[in-house]
Chains A and B, each alone.
Chain A
Amino acid sequence: MELTVAPSQFFWAAEEWERFYQDLATAPVERVVLGELVCSKRLPFYQDWIPAAVETLQSAGKEVLLTSLALITLKRERKQNAQLADMGVEIEINDLTALSYLPEGARFSVGPLINTYNESTLRWLASRGAARICLPPELPLDSVTALAKAGSECGVAVEVWGHGRIPLAISGRCYHARLHGRTKDNCQFACEDDPDGLEVRTLEGKPFLSMNGVQTLSDSYACADYQIEDLKAAGVSALRLSPQSKGFGEICTLYRQRLQGTLPVGTLSAKAIAQGEGIRLSDGFLKGETGVSWSGSQPAA
């Protein structure tokens, strides 16, 4: 199985963004998807760094793709996304709008925010030129198995969400701005202070979600540690690792070792939990009762 790095979901300062992708050049991953997924207002802060990051990663032998936005509404966003194809890099669509901008027959990838729930949809995307599809994180293992099979029949590589806070929802409303009593248009980049999202607790004080501007993530970090054998058996071709502000290089290395069989089951997740206070894991979407369920033991909240 290969490793794909997801586009960062968070708003990082340009220098940190740049350093993150420089560091990735040495990480044991096959593929990196980058660019702005969540909020079009963030892009101007680091877009000038993108060509250099692409070049660095390509020279390091990685396949590089550019993501579309997850929710394209404004004129500016339509224009921005229509121009993505001009960058000369394969596009990963995360809003179907981005597909409408690609020349017919062009090769593209499909991100986890496109609803690929069944074989017909997968085959339709393949017929339009999709070469790789990362499945929506909420799919159970049975669906993953059926889709990986359908993918192998029509030459589409199927990928699943492997590690990181799970994208659960996207909205027209910015929750960070709302929290600070601002409107989205005058958000003053309230999400900037939370490089891994902002913890949202329930009324009994349980950590539950993570706020990231217009996006809502899980509090828990998805972790495929206990699922890797099943995913391999299902024919999944790659795991997707979602960037976090600290210790991401270690995550990449741990997954590589786990895939190579040099790490026993349970060690990867134990080390992921040890990365920081308040890191909780989940793998429930694949086989559990609920998405938040976890196969291993959970540290106290």
Chain B
Amino acid sequence: MTLVPEAYVVPLTLFSPLVFGVLAWLFDRDWVRETLGVIGAAVPLTVLSLAYEKASSGTISYTIDTGVFKLHFVLNSLSWYFAFIGALVGIAMAFGLSSTSRRGYDWLFSLMSFTGVMGVFLARDFVSLFLFWELMTFGSFMMVLRRNRHESLKYFVLSVIGAYSMLLAIGMVYAKTGTLDYAMASQTLLLLTKMGGVSKAYVDTIFALFLLAFGVKAGVVPLHVWAPGAYGENDQSYTSFFSGVLSKAGVYGFIITLFVMPSLYGIYFAMGTFHGHLTGTYLIAWAGAVTVVVASFLAVLQEDIRKLLAYSSVGQVGYIILALGVFNGVAVGGAMFHVLSHAMFKGLFWLISAALILRTGKTRFEDFGGLAEKMPVTFAMALIAVLSLAGIPPMAGFASKWLIYEGAIQAHMPLVAGTIFLGSALAFAYVVRFLYAVWFGQRPSDLDDVREAPLPLLVGMTVLAIPNIVFGIAPGLAVRLINRFFNTNITVNSYYSISTPTGTYNALSVTLVLIVGLAIAGLVYIYGANARKIKVTNTYQSGNPVTEEYNLVIRRNFYRPLAEALDFWLKYSWDRFYERLANLSEDFADWLREGFYNGNVQSYSWYLAIILLILAIWGVL
């Protein structure tokens, strides 16, 4: 703490990315730009690490007085947890960008969104939240705008709808309570609901508007349509941050509505119950569950590596939303844990896809193959990411998913728990494809001179790979952090072992068993098995004749039978629905303009007459 005085902790965390981003944009030279950018991303991480003691035992507040509003920021154990995850992915992104981007523009806007996210995590009042929320959206939007106008507009329109819902909700809160501070507003609101000062519908509207606002950013189905385009049509290094952290800002918003404003808690009770579950949160749980299922199915069917990862990201954030909606200690603890693990493994995934695109220039599975030999380190990283995402111990992804599952079972939500299971199976299906199609099998001849990913990218990947393993083997570390700000009901027996009321997970013993098992299998493979070496081209079809039209290889149309089975459902697409809606409103705009501003002065005079008539009628009555 002595290194960074307390008063500087929050401003340094908030503003150093933005300031260095602007500097990187101004001094747009090789090396200078990259150095500045990496420093800008490193400062928050350093400052937050140094402030750990203070933030976990107390709070660090910081206020900016703009005169119009007071902006209030607090670093406590909750905001530290989120901010630290953000900063960790942020530094990895900065290393990635050093390799993949040669533009000051990218640095400026990616670091701008970095500042935005930090502000969202640290804000303690609605105006700061909204301000930084918009900053974050704007930065990320500009990253997409440069690359694809259509996708960026889709992203922006949905984000703006979200932002304005939030603004409306904030206005509604302020109008009744006269304060913008989370805690004060929520207390006053609770008091007012009890005294009957605000109607139930009013509170429900606030609730719904907040959920809409945060749901867009978190990518909850059906508000997810921006995600595949915006994540895909972007610098992939930036996407690691975009998908890893910005989506968590949406999750954080859910946490604010559910827990930081505890009075809404009382409001959920006011909303009543449904089959023994609180209606408000039960809805959230199902929104998450639908997201998991829909996004995972869509991820399985993708032929483009970026689209696959994007849908998978939507699905994984769905788990977090689902867990928050389950609304008991274990599940929420799992959700918080999954925030960490998803940021780590999905950040890692995107950096890997950045490396692949940088080195090969290809994005579709059919163009890849056999890269494990060419990019061994990246392959090792990919293996970690895949294991973590698929929820295989001893990776972080397993521990968090296990907690969510336990939570859902405890809350007596078997159907919801079922969707977790289904989602896991689907996740396994798509990562297997990623693993096999990209890294194994036949290598297309044009990939023969592919080199290993550049050093900065590898550094970035390592930064994200280590937590995947560390928190996987020692889930107690993460749970201990989470227990500081939320009573999760999960006991930490040791670093390696955690217990919920219904079960215990000892990561170390699982790891040991796994290692022993692998060793035995390896020995059997080397000495005992009747193995023969065959060429990769020597495939077999289980008696099925292969035709060109129906040629399913892992690199192309592998899950086509699934697509055919889902034919009925795939006819309905949210993307098309939104496109149609957009077209409709454009047509409406034309109709309105041509109808109203029709250029005919006579009809204009009629408008005057109508208003006069309204006034006259009122005058008479």
Tell whether A pairs with B.
no
| A interface, CB within 8 angstroms of B | none
| B interface, CB within 8 angstroms of A | none
